[in-house]
Amino acid sequence: MARARKIDNVVPLNVSNETDDQVEDRIAERFSILDILAKSAIAGDVRSVIVSGSPGCGKSYTVLKELENYDPSGNTYTVIKGYAKSTGLVKTLYNYRHPGNIIVFDDIDNIFYDDVSLNLLKAVADTCDNRRVSYLSEYKLLDEETGEIVPRNFDFEGTIVFLTNLDFQQMVDKGHKLAPHLDALMSRSLYLDLTLKTRKDKLVRIRNVVEHGLLSHLDIDQQVDVLTFLEIHFEHLRELSLREVIKLGQLRKTNSSWEKIARITLCK
């Protein structure tokens, strides 16, 4: 994708001691590491990766792009979104238990609040040679898709990737009730914090992604209009994310009253 011209006529926000360039360098370094970790997970060089970052910052896009490049058929990996119970988790772990298989949990934060799911995840993220999964329920667990009965015990040799909006380190430091479990998962995994904590961080990230072609369907003046709107209304937007940028781009492209509509629909 062709890179958009650098957009440099938008006034920077001075809301921290870091300059915009320093913020951009810090975030770019983290996303570069995310790309490396995604490749390492696909190669099977790491067993478990946890990526923490604000919603809509592009963490899912980075990982899924690498997975699609690795296996366009999608047969060797699965991406779980929405909600997962422990029984569904066991079935997924069994179906993607082989070397070269990757399971991505994309913002499935409910599994961190379930003791059974947490213990299963700790088992498959472990650093020991044999990662044994045991699910000793009183009934047989049937995989409806394959018709196969899932064994009560099986070895897991795949890779798991957690993409989460939760700040594990902060929760551990503050003594959250989940702290012991999250700390145990972090000790078994490579943990990457994308450090998108403030609205300034998010705005700098958005500028960078726009400059790399996120709004390439708009001309340069329209792109500047979108970024200027974000600069003016950043404190009042319900969410400052790449998703909001895409929505703004759609409005700017198709409607002459886009600013009025955006203020009413996207701001508090």
pLDDT at residue number 1: 37
If you average pLDDT over residues 56-64, what whole number do you get? 92
**Does the pLDDT value for residue 142 go beyond 90?**
no
pLDDT at residue number 16: 58
Instruction: Please state whether 100 falls in left (phi above 0), alpha (psi between -120 and 50) or beta.
Output: left
Model pLDDT for residues 164-197, shown as the tens digit of each residue: 999 999 999 999 999 999 999 999 999 999 999 8
**Does the pLDDT value for residue 145 go beyond 60?**
yes
**Local confidence band at 102 (pLDDT 50, 70, 90 cut-offs):** very high
pLDDT at residue number 125: 96
Model pLDDT for residues 82-95, shown as the tens digit of each residue: 999 999 999 999 99
- Considering the chain, what is the average pLDDT of its residues? 90
Q: For the chain, list the domains and their CATH numbers.
A: 22-193 (3.40.50.300), 198-266 (no CATH)
- Most distant CA pair in the chain: distance in Å? 65
pLDDT at residue number 237: 95
pLDDT at residue number 8: 52
Nearest to 160 by CA among 122, 116, 208: 122
**Does the pLDDT value for residue 65 go beyond 90?**
yes
**Does the pLDDT value for residue 10 go beyond 60?**
no
**Does the pLDDT value for residue 265 go beyond 90?**
yes
**Does the pLDDT value for residue 260 go beyond 50?**
yes
**Does the pLDDT value for residue 148 go beyond 90?**
no
**Local confidence band at 34 (pLDDT 50, 70, 90 cut-offs):** very high
If you average pLDDT over residues 92-106, what whole number do you get? 96
**Does the pLDDT value for residue 3 go beyond 80?**
no
What value, to the nearest 5°, has the Cα angle with vertex 31 and ends 25 and 35? 140
**Local confidence band at 2 (pLDDT 50, 70, 90 cut-offs):** very low
Identify the residue with better confidence: 145 or 106: 106
If you average pLDDT over residues 225-252, what whole number do you get? 94
Assess contact for 114 and 104: CB atoms under 8 A. no
